[in-house]
């Protein structure tokens, strides 16, 4: 019976075909062997290991659908009509744009989930500080992608959401007005702003993201996935691990398949809408609000008071800036403050959820 438990396959022969051709010229086999040697712990919470992969999947979906949208989209005065043309006239344009919009939101969502799960599993610890920080930068960049992309269709919601965002930027002391001016490209949010956001959305931020993402994944591959305390505390015979290649990658792929199914169901059953064209002179419509991941900030700004010489936006900027900085620097708090890190993160998470609910309640969605 003993040979049944032994499921080790004998090492396969050298690959043939394309892989073989490449292998003769480059050290492909080395890479495969390296990946095959890597192991990922398999236990009750290994579910969370797939969050980063899902974020990556949605990022790739964004690149593909984004390039497709670029074939028809025109920034500037024709922005709105070109998006309208895409969703109404171009064959399957509605599908591509819907997928792009949903995948954007899902990407931000999974990056958030990924970050919080990493913090709670204490995967940011030495020696993975840089993996964490690049991850944090990726979160900020994802939100930047969301913010810059939101304006591009130039519908009513997009216009006012951007206007609010620009006013917040402007209230940052000293550099705020300069930054806002550079982003807006004029005294007010207008067609020039579309061109600038467009440049950032399709080249500036994505290039940065690809670079940072490369570093992030490189660090991950070099150091391997972190094993949490609970797993390490298990007796050795209970520490189950699976091979990164192919087992974990197959699983990853199947989870992507589920995610793609979900994405297509969303796009087919609830196609993303396009509001009326923005009118710079029209009054702000009722119930205006930004995307969900800015909702908590939106609500906090609404309820903050003016204290002495500080206006409420200034206080908001201080709060958001400090929270962001503290979160970003979690790996450097020190080993004896891990409990504090957990409490702080729980507080931030709770704050995000509560203020988002309040915000949706305030605009009448809940």
| CA-CA-CA-CA torsion sign (330, 217, 243, 254) | positive
Residue 183: count other Cβ atoms within 10 Å of its Cβ: 21
CB of 287 to other proteins, least distance (A): 19
- 269 part of the interface to other proteins, by CB under 8 A: yes
Entry field: residues in the chain: 366
Distance CA 92, CA 105 (A): 20
Q: Identify which of residues 89 and 232 has a Cβ nearer to other proteins in the complex.
A: 89
CB of 16 to other proteins, least distance (A): 13
CB of 262 to other proteins, least distance (A): 10
Member of 57, 68, 79, 266 binding other proteins (CB under 8 A): 68
Peptide bond into 351 cis (omega under 30): no
CB of 258 to other proteins, least distance (A): 6
Q: What's the distance, CA 251 to chain centroid?
A: 21
- 251 part of the interface to other proteins, by CB under 8 A: yes
Tally of CA atoms within 13 A in the half-sphere of 224 that contains its CB: 16
| Nearest partner of 160 among 299, 298, 276, 278, judged by Cα | 278
Distance CA 245, CA 249 (A): 6
Residues 3-62 that bind other proteins (CB under 8 A): 3-7, 42, 47
- Counting beta carbons within 10 angstroms of the beta carbon of residue 307, is it exposed (0 to 12), middle (13 to 18) or buried (19 or more)? exposed
Q: Identify which of residues 257 and 354 has a Cβ nearer to other proteins in the complex.
A: 257
- 91 part of the interface to other proteins, by CB under 8 A: yes
Count of residues engaged in binding other proteins, rule: CB under 8 A = 39
Member of 59, 94, 132, 219 binding other proteins (CB under 8 A): 94
CB of 94 to other proteins, least distance (A): 3
Query: Are residues 163 and 355 in contact, defined by beta-carbon separation less than 8 angstroms?
Result: no
Query: What's the Cα-to-Cα distance from 207 to each of 53, 211, 214, 217, rounded to whole Å?
Result: 19, 6, 11, 15
- 63 part of the interface to other proteins, by CB under 8 A: no
Q: Identify which of residues 85 and 191 has a Cβ nearer to other proteins in the complex.
A: 85
- 286 part of the interface to other proteins, by CB under 8 A: no
Tokens encoding 120? 């709670």
Tokens encoding 10? 């004998």
Q: Identify which of residues 82 and 169 has a Cβ nearer to other proteins in the complex.
A: 82
Distance CA 162, CA 143 (A): 13
Member of 93, 153, 228, 331 binding other proteins (CB under 8 A): 93
- 264 part of the interface to other proteins, by CB under 8 A: yes
Member of 144, 204, 271, 324 binding other proteins (CB under 8 A): 271
Residues that bind other proteins (CB under 8 A): 1, 3-7, 42, 47, 68, 71-72, 85, 87-96, 242, 246-248, 250-251, 253-255, 257-258, 261, 264-265, 268-269, 271
């Amino acid at each position: 019976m003993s040979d049944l438990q032994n499921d080790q396959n004998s090492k396969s022969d050298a690959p043939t075909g394309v892989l073989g051709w490449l292998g003769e010229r480059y050290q492909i086999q080395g890479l495969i062997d390296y990946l095959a040697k890597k192991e990922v712990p398999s236990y009750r919470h290994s579910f969370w290991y797939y969050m980063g992969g899902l974020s990556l999947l949605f990022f790739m979906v964004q690149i593909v659908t984004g390039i497709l949208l670029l074939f028809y989209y025109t920034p500037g005065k024709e922005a709105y009509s070109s998006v309208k043309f895409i969703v109404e006239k171009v064959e399957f344009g509605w599908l591509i744009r819907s997928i792009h919009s949903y995948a954007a939101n899902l990407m931000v969502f999974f990056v958030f989930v990924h970050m919080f799960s990493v913090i709670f599993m204490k995967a940011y610890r030495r020696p993975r500080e840089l993996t964490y920080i690049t991850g944090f930068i990726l979160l900020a960049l994802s939100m930047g992608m969301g913010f810059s992309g939101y304006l591009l269709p130039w519908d009513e919601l997009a216009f006012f959401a951007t206007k609010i965002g620009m006013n917040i930027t402007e209230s940052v002391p000293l550099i705020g007005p300069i930054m806002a001016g550079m982003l807006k490209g004029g005294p007010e949010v207008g067609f020039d702003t579309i061109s600038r956001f467009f440049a950032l959305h399709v080249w500036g931020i994505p290039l940065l993201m690809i670079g940072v993402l490369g570093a992030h994944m490189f660090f991950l591959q070099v150091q391997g996935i972190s094993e949490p305390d609970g797993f390490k505390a298990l007796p050795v015979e209970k520490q189950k691990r699976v091979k990164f290649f192919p087992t974990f990658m197959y699983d990853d792929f199947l989870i992507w398949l589920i995610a793609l199914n979900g994405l297509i169901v969303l796009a087919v059953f609830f196609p993303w809408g396009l509001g009326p064209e923005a009118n710079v002179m029209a009054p702000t419509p009722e119930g205006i609000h930004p995307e969900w991941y800015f909702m908590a900030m939106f609500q906090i700004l609404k309820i903050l008071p003016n204290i002495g010489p500080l206006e409420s936006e200034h206080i908001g900027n201080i709060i958001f800036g400090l929270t962001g900085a503290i979160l970003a620097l979690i790996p450097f708090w020190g080993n004896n403050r891990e409990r504090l890190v957990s409490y702080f993160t729980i507080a931030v998470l709770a704050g995000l959820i509560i203020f988002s609910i309040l915000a949706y309640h305030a605009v009448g969605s809940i």
